[in-house]
Structure 1
């Protein structure tokens, strides 16, 4: 009989497969072969550590510190650990559950009348001691794959958590780079403002001397003084911005505000992107962007949840086993040849649930449809982000080239004015005014270059770069 039952059970398990839809990957989406606004047709793959292309050692150090110690990442890592633990728990649910128990009981039994009726006399009260040691095990057979679907869902949820951590790393590296670029640009603007103030002050002094000699008007002096005060008024907001960017960097690396002030006080050139930037193709973008990978893993988890809901509508077969030894004396616990054994299969089936099981399936299917829609939105959004970033970056390069030509013309004008001053055909005020225009052209070029580097950072974020697979125990 035992052999027949084992053969029947093996055949049943082999015949039954997991109910619900099998997940075959992300739904097909229409993807162009190349970006419409791509400016580099190089097939080279972009760099994961894209900030290294800016060639700034201080920036490399700050990004590394942020990825290691930023206060924005621990919560995301905690969600990842929770997903790994949930997967372990789900897989453990498929194994038998074994427990042990020990029991001691003392009972006092009342006296019983002798001969029945209400006649007097009877036995004296008695007591009973009971000692027992037991082991029990229960195991639910995964007939219709509900537990397997649960494990699939937990595995997909773990993949989504990993992708969400990668997405947080992408955003963090871009935030650090953008704050650093803004800091260096603000420091450069402060240096240029100081140079402009020095020249405007000198021009004002010379004009005041001319006004005292009758060769300049009070209007000229008032106009120059107004320009000087306007330039001075710009300094305080720039200093506040510089401090704010320094504090932002300190926060991103997990340090107290003001901690990086001394480290970043020395003014260094603004980091500029490389001459050529490889952007890859849309197909590689969809595989690389963490937010798309997270959306796809959520879709896989929701698909597996349909199988879980379907399996709950079918019969559930479980086995219960118990082994116990004991008796009325402690010595009975050592009589291993005298034990109690119970083995009981149990079949449960809520066949009359008035549509609750069907409703759960429909709800799971709706969740899957929602996840699929969100995945398609994520794909289209990623392609849009990349195209917009490519357009802004390419147009900004044109703006930088225009500002560089204007700066070159201002440099040439200032050089010619100095030559005229040495030849005696121009005065000092004219030369200082030419230098002021030179500084203004340099400020415009600085703003364009800072915008170019900022657009480069945005492009790398849109391409889904700046993350790495974190080491750790995997389930």
Structure 2
């Protein structure tokens, strides 16, 4: 017993070791402005944003419905969930590999091998020896029992393998969350573009009607000899251009409807009824909460996925280094049997075999060292990839903040131009009623008003899409809660006039 304990003591000490370096976390990256975004304008608040369902701040129930449908029906989200289940199953499988495996077995062996001579009786020819030596060439074995296999993880290689697969599973979860972030932003952008196209179609149709009147009035003056033919041609060219813009707007509407249908897991055309009614372009809230760069790095799913892949690569170094140490495995067999079929029913024929095995690669011509170098290089690559993803995330946030500030200024300027065009059209209507100007001049003024409104709508759509880009760059998306714990997020009221004030640009 004392000798056995002496042999097992160093094995126990070795079993407590873990090969490879312990994971110390991702590298830290200092931002230029410390705990604030460099490009944040006066409309940006440093408060933490809501973690999910950010689109409810736009206050559009149809958009909320589309986002809810996409979470359930989008094939990409379903595929991401399936990848998570695959990763979790791999983790369960690897954990199970560390435990002993027991299997039932039943064996029947019939062999006739000339010259085998497995007899245990007297030699042939001696008294009592069998006369027919063919019996000594036959072998019959019957056995029913259990066998077990177990490899002891002395160097921690299996534990490091489980650590790596666990990190990969966490990366799969983060990748699925990133897919949902991308999907939520894509739906919101397509919806805003749809509303802009619908409003553009209505405005261009009104411009077409006005231009038709201008063409008719111009042609009348031409027939009266008051104008040359050239202005008639120009008026007709303007009308044809507006007709082409109507066709373009209608095509854009159909494209965005089909895009939204596919993003929600429906066939093209399935959402035409839901999206047929025209609505205003949703406006972002007056103030935008973004938090700080450190919170962005901790929140963004793609950053978390890159960090988990770095942890997995670090654990694989331990898997490679474990090959340097000896491996000890045990195989055990326990069963009933003998040379006759009835022997498997006799408890007295119990057989037990224990087969310990020691394997140590003393000379592998540098294979293990090369494997370790490869794992370390993979860890370095994962670390560089992590830094690349973090820098890309910070770039996305800073650029979206800079563009959003410019887009707000653009909306404020175009809102002022639109108000001036409205005032000019109202004055011209009064002048036309007083007979000071012609109907053609009034129609031209009204056309300029419609064009100014169309330009403002495009700017509003760009500003809302800029706000959506901020939410995407912050890594915001869905928060999946149970039905009993789901809480509604009340959107903040949005004042369209306050968003367009020049002093807020």
Please say if residues 48 and 289 of structure 2, whose CA atoms lie closer than 8 Å, have aligned partners that are also in contact: yes
In the alignment, which residue of structure 2 is the partner of 1:183? 194
Gapped regions of structure 1 (runs ≥ 5): none
TM-score (norm 2): 0.87
Distance in 2 separating the partners of 1:400 and 1:432: 25
Deviates more, 1:58-67 or 1:206-215: 206-215
Distance in 1 separating the partners of 2:303 and 2:139: 69
In the alignment, which residue of structure 1 is the partner of 2:21? 21
Please say if residues 167 and 467 of structure 1, whose CA atoms lie closer than 8 Å, have aligned partners that are also in contact: no
Aligned equivalent of 2:125, options 81, 100, 115? 115
In the alignment, which residue of structure 1 is the partner of 2:379? 368
In the alignment, which residue of structure 1 is the partner of 2:35? 33
In the alignment, which residue of structure 2 is the partner of 1:430? 441
Structure 1 residues 124-155: Cα deviation after superposition (integer angstroms, max 9, x where no partner): 75466432112111111111100110010011
CA RMSD between the two structures: 2.2
Please say if residues 157 and 318 of structure 2, whose CA atoms lie closer than 8 Å, have aligned partners that are also in contact: yes
Please say if residues 51 and 479 of structure 2, whose CA atoms lie closer than 8 Å, have aligned partners that are also in contact: no
Distance in 1 separating the partners of 2:461 and 2:45: 25
1:56 counterpart = 2:66: no
- Aligned residue for 1:353, secondary structure, equals coil
- Aligned residue for 2:275, secondary structure, equals coil
Deviates more, 1:358-367 or 1:458-467: 458-467
Change over 3 Å in CA distance of 1:265–1:7 after alignment to 2: farther
Matches within 5 A, 1:36-115: 36-39=38-41, 40-107=44-111, 115=125
Structure 1 residues 51-92: Cα deviation after superposition (integer angstroms, max 9, x where no partner): 111111111111111121112233322222221111111111
Gapped regions of structure 2 (runs ≥ 5): 118-122, 483-505
Displacement of 1:247 after TM fit?
A: 1.2
Structure 1 residues 329-351: Cα deviation after superposition (integer angstroms, max 9, x where no partner): 33322222431112232211001
Displacement of 1:196 after TM fit?
A: 0.3
Distance in 1 separating the partners of 2:456 and 2:51: 27
- Aligned residue for 1:263, secondary structure, equals helix
1:407 counterpart = 2:409: no
Change over 3 Å in CA distance of 1:298–1:469 after alignment to 2: farther
Please say if residues 166 and 468 of structure 1, whose CA atoms lie closer than 8 Å, have aligned partners that are also in contact: no
- Aligned residue for 2:278, secondary structure, equals coil
In the alignment, which residue of structure 2 is the partner of 1:386? 397
Distance in 1 separating the partners of 2:48 and 2:185: 21
Change over 3 Å in CA distance of 1:109–1:170 after alignment to 2: closer
Displacement of 1:368 after TM fit?
A: 0.2
Change over 3 Å in CA distance of 1:301–1:65 after alignment to 2: same
Distance in 1 separating the partners of 2:142 and 2:480: 56
Change over 3 Å in CA distance of 1:20–1:84 after alignment to 2: same
In the alignment, which residue of structure 2 is the partner of 1:447? 458
1:248 counterpart = 2:259: yes
1:346 counterpart = 2:382: no
Distance in 1 separating the partners of 2:111 and 2:81: 55
- Aligned residue for 2:147, secondary structure, equals strand
Distance in 1 separating the partners of 2:23 and 2:401: 34
Distance in 2 separating the partners of 1:319 and 1:306: 26
Structure 1 residues 405-461: Cα deviation after superposition (integer angstroms, max 9, x where no partner): 000000000111111122222222221111111001001101101111111111111
Change over 3 Å in CA distance of 1:366–1:73 after alignment to 2: same
Change over 3 Å in CA distance of 1:442–1:295 after alignment to 2: same
